[in-house]
Every structure is written in C-alpha cells, then in structure tokens.
Amino acid sequence: MSLEPGTEFAGYTVVGKIGAGGMGEVYLARHPRLPRHDVIKVLAEHVSNDPTFRARFTREADLAAQLDHPCIVSVYDRGEVDGRLWISMQYVAGTDAAALIAATPGGLPLADVGAVGDAIGSALDHAHRHGLLHRDVKPANILLSSEDSEPGQPDAPERRRIRLADFGIARQTDGGTALTSANLVIGSFPYSSPEQLSGQTLDARSDVYSLACSLFEFLTGTVPFTGPTPAMLIHHHLVTPPPAVSDLRRDVPRAVSDAVRHGLAKNPADRPLSAGSLAAELRSAIDTTGFFPIVARTGPAMSARTQLAATQHAPTAAIPTAQAPPLRSRSSHSASPAHGFPTVTAYSELPDQTVSGPDPGASTVRASRDLPVLDVLPNGPAATRRTTASLACGVAALPLSVVGGLGLPVGVAGWYLAGRGVPSSAGRLAKALCIAGIVLSVAFIGFTVGHAMTIQF
C-alpha cells in the first residue's frame, strides 16, 4: 500500500515518497501541528506481522529515541496504523555521502574525510554508551546538510552538518536476549564486519569495522572488498587482507592508510576500542601530514559563506548544501528535486531495498580544486629530467664506488633527484641503484681504511 501526496497518516500529511524497498516505504510528511517536515518509515505488512521483529522494533525504536547528539538524526515517534509499524525521524535537507562519493569517484579530500570521521565517530560513541549498536554504518546512512547562519547575522558563514541516520534498526549491545535472533539480514555486505557476517556476538567494534569500510570508500571511491556474489564478498571480509588505501590512491600518506587498515582488522581485538578512537587515529594521521594551502579562487565555488569548520562539521565546500522544503505554502510541497527534496537520501536505505542510483544534481559540489592539496605528486618536464638524471647517477654510482668511493656522493645526489622526479618504475630503479652505489662506496671506504690501518700497525 503506497501513500499518495496529501494522504493523512498517523496524523501526518504525506508530502511525497522519497524511497521504497522490500521492508517498506519512506515518506516526507508535514507535522500535524509544528511548522516542520519529518520523515516517516512505514514498514511492510510481512515485516510488521513478524512477532519477533515487532518486539525488537519496539525496543530499539525506544532506545534510539533516547539518543541526543548533534550528529545523530533524531527519532521522534513510533506507532502502528492498520497493522503496519511506522517510525518518524528528523528530516535533513541535503544529500547523503553515497551521492557525494558517486560525484567524486577518485576519493574525497582528506580534510573532508577527517571531518566525517570525527562526526560519525562521536555519534557512534554516544550511541554505544547508551547500549545501542548501529550495525549498518555506510555512506548512504551519512547525511550531509547545511546549517543556517545565526539570526540577525545574514552574512555569517554557513557550517556543514554531518549526521548519522537509521538508528531505528539498531540493536542493544547486551547480545543476550532472544529478540536479536530474528532471521533477518541487517546491514549491508560491503560494510559488514566479519563477526556480523558469521553470526557472532557483536559489540561496538563491529561498528568500528563498518566505519573503517566507509572511510576506505571516502578515500578511494570504492569499498575494500567486492565480489560477484554475496558468498564471495563474505569470504573476502572473513579471510582476505584488506588492500592499502595508499596503493589505490597515491597521494594518501601511509599513516592515513594504516589508520584505516587498523579499523579493518579481522579480529575485533585488533581494532581500535571505539569509533572515536579510530576517528582520532585518522585525524592525527591527517593533521601530522603537511598540507600546503593554495590561493582561493574567486567565484561562486568559493563564496563568502564558506568557511573551515571544526570537528563534527565538514570543513570544505565539497560537502553540498541544499535548501529545506518551503513550509509556508501547502501547494509548494512536492517530492521533486526542483523543490529541494532529494530523490534519494539515507532515509530511503532500508534493508533489502532497491532504488535507482543517486542523482547528486545541483546540490553536490565538486570543489577539491579549491582545497589545500596534500603531498602533490611531482610532474612535468622538470620532474622527468630529474628522474633521468637520477637514473644516470645510479648507473654511474656502481662502478664509481670502487674508485675512491666516488659512488657515495654520486649515489646521494641521484637518490635526492629520484625523490623529486616522476614517481615511476624508472624512479624506483634509480633509487635502488643509488642506494646500492652508496652501500658499495661505504663498504669500499671502510675496507680501504681498515686495510691501511692493518698495514700501519
């Protein structure tokens, strides 16, 4: 049963459908008394009629409603209408991180990834302290929106908000009740922890693994593991070592790659103890790496209303803004993108759902060209000449190492040039030859000095 715009449901007035799937539909609705819009998830009849799921839904919706955190989408109410369970949540005008990743397939700037890690790590720690797991942390459940300027200060900069959605299907961390044994697949395979996929008891470190998978995708544009079938994907999560982020994106420092890999450990005991710890490790790796700011470009992409924000706010224009739906005119409410309603948001991501691919549209801004650049890779004719010179030095360093140890300065010079040349197989060969020349030169000098001392004495 699909609800048409204008339909009254649980006191709300339906504005339009923003998602549908195997477990139900998701609607944007007008609150019956307050001047605001909420999101309503109406679960399908076959789900609502499952006694085990009903008990778990009631418990977990009540727990989720107790969460009060700036980076968590609030749960307002729950109930049942005509045998169908429903839950209402905060509406966030904007887009989800999955759409942003689709618009930036090469990976997001590190500053943006660090901001997402800070916000979601803090949100998960808050939920875990209240005995609640999320179990479905993924970019599609991370909402990105804008925050209005302060009243009376129309020229004040905007700050981007980052929120984690869909706590309505989370479960308590006690792991000991029969309410967690329903035969339901909760979560998404590309982001699910090994213990979740193997049916083991879960704790906060399962969400840590899912957050690490999401951070991996933010940095590289792809998930850590892929497979043609769910069985193959589960196999990879259980036994295949995760690839290094730095192998897929060469401008990412090794410390950042190591932080993400720490969260992807197969054994929960080998991961950070909390999502906040993973976020802090990632933040430390980012902040201790040299960023070189560039001159800001003028124009719409770098307006006066964009600023670098602190933790829990995205610090760059790469995180899009979107206008909230108009509330003054009833006739203006529509689910079309032209009225500011995203066609696909995190609210539509129910388990087993199939929806069309996200269309970022005008609300998604690709602004990495306006951001500080991390570890810019050398390129151009000058870098090519340095690589060629370093290769020549490496070839010369080997024979010169036995000619008075002249291979030492030649090897050092070649090694220096190779580090500032074009990253390539030729550059790596040059470094290897230069290092060999340096080692042979030091050995020759040491042998000569030792032999001379032996003759003297």
pLDDT score of 426 more than 80: no
Mean pLDDT of the residues in the chain: 75
Q: What percent of the chain has pLDDT over 70?
A: 71
The pLDDT, as a whole number, for residue 330 is 31
User: Per-residue confidence at 422, pLDDT binned at 50, 70, 90?
Assistant: low
CB 287 within 8 A of CB 366: no
Per-domain residue ranges of the chain: 8-89, 92-324+338-353+369-374, 381-456
Q: For residue 148, how far is the Cα from the chain centroid?
A: 24
The pLDDT, as a whole number, for residue 264 is 97
**Cβ neighbours for 160, distance < 8 A, ≥ 6 positions apart:** 115, 144, 145, 146, 147, 309, 313, 314, 315, 319, 321
Cα–Cα distance for residue pair 142/138, rounded to 1 Å? 7
User: Per-residue confidence at 22, pLDDT binned at 50, 70, 90?
Assistant: low
The pLDDT, as a whole number, for residue 169 is 58
Q: Pick 449 or 304 by higher pLDDT.
A: 449
pLDDT score of 189 more than 90: no
pLDDT score of 293 more than 90: no
Place of tokens 């399908």: 44
For the ranges 132-136, 181-185, 296-300, the one whose mean pLDDT is highest: 132-136
The pLDDT, as a whole number, for residue 93 is 85
pLDDT score of 450 more than 90: no
User: What is the helix, strand, coil percentage profile of the chain, to 5?
Assistant: 45, 15, 40
User: Per-residue confidence at 224, pLDDT binned at 50, 70, 90?
Assistant: very high
The pLDDT, as a whole number, for residue 145 is 85
Closest alpha carbon to 193 in 181, 180, 210, 169: 210
Q: Which CATH superfamily is domain 8-89 in?
A: Phosphorylase Kinase; domain 1 (3.30.200.20)
The pLDDT, as a whole number, for residue 16 is 92
User: Per-residue confidence at 177, pLDDT binned at 50, 70, 90?
Assistant: very low
Place of tokens 């819009």: 37
Catalytic residue (one of 38, 118, 136, 207) = 136
In this predicted model, what pLDDT tens digit does every residue of 299-349 receive, in sequence order? 333 333 233 333 333 343 344 433 334 333 333 333 333 323 233 344 433
Which token pair is 378?
């050398």
In this predicted model, what pLDDT tens digit does every residue of 238-260 receive, in sequence order? 999 999 999 999 999 999 999 99
CATH topology of domain 92-324+338-353+369-374: Transferase(Phosphotransferase); domain 1 (1.10.510)
Place of tokens 């399962």: 206
CA distances from 356 to 36, 343, 345, 349 (A): 27, 9, 11, 11
Q: What is the mean pLDDT of residues 129-156?
A: 75
Q: Is residue 251 among the annotated active site residues?
A: no
Cβ count within 10 A of residue 342: 28
Across 104-108, 167-171, 373-377, least confident range:
373-377
**pTM for the whole structure:** 0.62
Residue 9: HSE in the Cβ half-sphere, 13 Å Cα cutoff: 33
Backbone angles phi, psi at 344, to 5 degrees: -135, 120
3-state secondary structure 114-143: HHHHHHHHHHHHHHHHCCEECCCCCHHHEE
